[in-house]
Amino acid sequence: MKQSRRNFLKFAGLSAAGLCLAPSVTALASEGGHGKAHEVVNANSLHAKRWAMVIDTRKLNTEEEINALAEVCHHIHNVPTIPTKQNVKWLWEATYAEAFPNQEDNYPSEDVEKRKFPLLCNHCESPSCVRVCPTKATFKRPDGIVAMDYHRCIGCRYCMAACPYGSRSFNFMSPRKYLDMDKINMKFPTRMRGVVEKCNFCVERLAVGEMPACVEKSNGAMTFGDLKDPNSNVRKALRENFTIRRNPAAGTEPGVYYII
């Protein structure tokens, strides 16, 4: 089981990389993930022991700014805009009280009260969504990214009940109904109905040497890097600023930090 899981992880990583190297994916797919897959990794691909994100909410805190990031993210990942409560979101904005419900202040500073906070999957260190998934469709990669295999998900939505941050969305209907099929990003798959999805920390971009789209678009308000490397930019940001994480009491150890 270990072996096939490792192969699977490798395969998943490779398929992400392979989205830009389409022929190799077909080659691998025909191997069905068995045997020793030959390494087809983009030479520029980024690696880390533990990916993490620091968001400076002093610089990034208006609805417009955050919506602009969400738009980029949702566009490149073909996330539909559904106007009902059965919507799908990977990145969205919320007030302080919604983002940090158990850390509300009775007399908050006016500044913080006004701010909006970008929310996304926290890619937790001990993610409850992975713990409960009965098919391993949600799994944690060695680099800390909590990834999903949409083809394996049975849509039981147990992970949605388990995530204490409301980071997951379910495709109640076919997402293609709410996508402009002429404008979709052909490099990234669309999902089918009946599966769960969420922010993937842009694994497909890391695999080709690019930073996550929201980070790139944030004008330096978001930092992305290796938490295990003391010299990384995220560690520098954490060293120099006071940060908090969402709902620490849930014990999942989120990988997204907020500078207040």
Indicate whether 81 belongs to the interface with other proteins (CB under 8 A).
Answer: no
DSSP states along 152-172? T-----HHHHH-TT---EE-S
x/- site string to other proteins, residues 164 to 183, per CB under 8 A? xxx--xxxxxx---------
- Cα distances from 236 to residues 53, 122, 143, in angstroms, run 12, 19, 19
Q: Which does 36 bind (CB under 5 to 8 A by kind): ligand SF4, other proteins, none?
A: none
CA angle 218, 208, 21 (to 5 degrees): 135
- Between CA 222 and CA 212 the distance in angstroms is 10
Number of residues that bind other proteins (CB under 8 A): 50
Interface residues toward ligand SF4, by CB under 6 A? 73, 77, 90-91, 120-124, 127-129, 132-135, 137-138, 146, 148, 153-159, 163, 165, 167-168, 196, 198-202, 212-214, 252
3-state secondary structure of 117: strand
Tokens of 45: 């691909």
Interstrand relation of 256-259 and 51-56 (parallel, antiparallel or unpaired): parallel
* Least gap, CB of 80 to other proteins (angstroms): 12
Q: In sequence order, which residues have a C-beta less than 8 Å from that of residue 229 and are 6 or more positions away?
A: 48, 49, 235
x/- site string to other proteins, residues 115 to 144, per CB under 8 A? -------------x--xxxxxxx-------
Which residue in 121, 250, 256, 259 binds other proteins (CB under 8 A)? 250
Indicate whether 156 belongs to the interface with other proteins (CB under 8 A).
Answer: yes
* Least gap, CB of 135 to other proteins (angstroms): 4
Q: Which residues bind other proteins (CB under 8 A)?
A: 84-89, 94, 97-99, 101-102, 128, 131-137, 152-158, 160-166, 169-174, 192-196, 247, 249-252
